[in-house]
Amino acid sequence: MAKKDGGLRFQPSGGSRAPQVPVGKKLKLAIERLANDGRGIGFSEGRTWFVSGALAGEQVEARVLGAHGKVVEARVERVLSASAERRNEACPHAKICGGCSLQHMPHADQLALKQRMLAEQFSRLAALEPREWAAPLVGPELAYRRRARIAVRWDNKTKTLEVGFRAAASQAIIGITDCPVLVQPLQPILRDLPQLLRGLDKPQAIGHVELFSGNCSAVLVRHTAALSEADLARLQAFCTAHAAQLWLHGSAEPQPVDPTQPLSYRLEAYTLDLAYRPGDFIQVNQPVNDAMIAQALDWLAPQADERVLDLFCGLGNFALPLAQRVRELVAVEGVQTMVERAALNAQNNGLGNVQVYQADLANPLADAQWAQGGFTAALLDPPRDGALQVVRQMAALGVQRVLYVSCNPATLARDSAELLAQGYQLERAGILDMFPQTAHVEAMALFVRK
C-alpha cells in the first residue's frame, strides 16, 4: 500500500516561483544607469541586473555571478556597443582582479559618482545638505597604494604555489606581476615574489604575504608551520636585495627579524614620524592622507588655547598634527595596543601635551576622568560602523566644532542626523578620493553648534 502524504502544500502567492538564473549564464543587456557602487544596471524578464564593468548607455553581454530573488549580479563578458566615456584599463587584469572595479571609467566620472553617493546618503538618511560642498580631495590616479596583501595558496594536486590577488567575486587567485596602483618601491618586490616563494623548501607553509612602504619597505610573511633555516635565509636575502625589512608572522604577533629597524611613515609637513607594525591601521594613500590632514586642520581651525578631543585616534595620524596647534590634545582609542603606539609616537616626537586613553567608544564618555572639563572641538575618524554612541555625547562634552572623517557615507549620514538633533549644523562636506579606481567613498564633514 502506497504511503499517504499527509503534508500540506501551498503555492506561493503570485503564482509559481520563477526559476533561478544559473551562475555562468550569459545574456545581452542594455545598461540604463549606474548604481552607487559603479556597477551598471539593466533589466530583463522582471529582474534587475547589476553588472560590474559596464557603463550607462552600453550594450553588453553579461555573465551571471550569482542571483537571489529578482536581483542578478553579473560582470561584463563583452562590450557590444561601448559608451563614448569608456577608456582602456591601465591594468590588463582589471576585468577579473578584485582590487579595482572602475578602471574603465574616467577619473572625473569616478569622482562624480562618489560625490553623488555621498549627497544621496545625506539626503536619504538625514534630509540634509551641507551649506558648502568642498571640492574632492584627490591624489594620483595610479601608483598610490603603499600597502598590499598578496594571496598565496598551495595546490596539493598540481604541487604548485599560486601567488597573486583574489579575483572579483571568487576565491581564485590571479597571478599578477605588475600592479599599476601600487607605489613604485613595492613593484619590484611584487614582481620577484612568486619566484622566491615557489623556490622555498616548504612553500605550502606560506599563508599570505603583505607588503608595506613607508620610510622603508617591509615584507611580512605569514607562515602556518615553522620555516627551515634555509628558507629563512632565502627570505632574508630577498629582502636585503630589495632594501626591505623582513617580518615573520607565525602563531604569535608579527615580529621583525631585525628589531633594531623601525617601521614608520613620515608626515613631512609637520616633521613627524609615526611608528607602526604590520596589522596596525594606516591610510593606504600617502598623498591623500597628507592632504586630508591639512584639510582637517584648516576646517577644524584649532586654536592655541583650546583643549581638543580626537576619538578613534589610532596611531596618532590626526592627533599629533593637532597637538602642535593646541594647548591640550586628548586622544582616545578602543584598542589598547594602539593606545600604547599612539602614546609612544607622541613621546618620540616630543609632544608633551598629548594624553592618550583607552575606552570603549560604544559606551558613554561623560563620566570618564579625562572627559572632565569638556572640549571646544573634536575630531572623529571611526571605522565603517560609524560613531553613533559617541556623537550622541558631543553637546554634553561642550564641543562646539566636530570634524567627522568617514569611510562609510551611510553611517556618516546616520550620525549626522544625531548631531543635527543636538543643535549642530553641517557647514561643509566633501569626498576624499583615498581609493582611486574603486567605488569606495571616504568623506569629511564639519559640524558647528549653533
What positions carry a catalytic annotation? 407
Provide the 3-class DSSP secondary structure of residue 423: coil
Q: Rounded CA gap, 321 and 289, in Å?
A: 12
* Residue type at 111 in one-letter notation: L
**What is the residue whose three cell numbers read 551562475?**
23
Q: Rounded CA gap, 54 and 1, in Å?
A: 59
Nearest alpha carbon to residue 182 among 200, 203, 164 = 164
Burial 51-87 (b: 16+ CB within 10 A, else e): bbbbbebbbbebbbbebeeeebbbbbbebeeebeebe
Sheet (strand 173-174) strand order: 173-174, 160-166, 147-155, 206-213, 217-223, 244-249, 255-256
CA 359 from centroid of its chain's CA atoms: 23
C-alpha cell recorded at residue 62: 553579461
* Residue type at 200 in one-letter notation: L
Which segments of 40-177 are extended strands (E)?
A: 40-44, 47-52, 59-68, 71-81, 132-133, 147-155, 160-166, 173-174
Q: Rounded CA gap, 55 and 48, in Å?
A: 15
Burial 386-417 (b: 16+ CB within 10 A, else e): bbeebbbbbbebebbbbbbbbbbbbbbbbbbe
Q: Rounded CA gap, 175 and 235, in Å?
A: 20
Nearest alpha carbon to residue 180 among 438, 441, 432, 433 = 438
Note whether 187 and 225 are within 8 A (CB).
Answer: no
Count CB atoms within 10 A of the CB of residue 425. Answer: 14
By CB neighbour count within 10 A (0-12 exposed, 13-18 middle, 19+ buried), where does 274 fall? buried
Rounded to the nearest 10°, the torsion over CA 169, 175, 178, 180 is 0
- Which element (helix H / strand E) includes 336? helix 336-348
Nearest alpha carbon to residue 380 among 436, 424, 347 = 424
C-alpha cell recorded at residue 86: 569608456
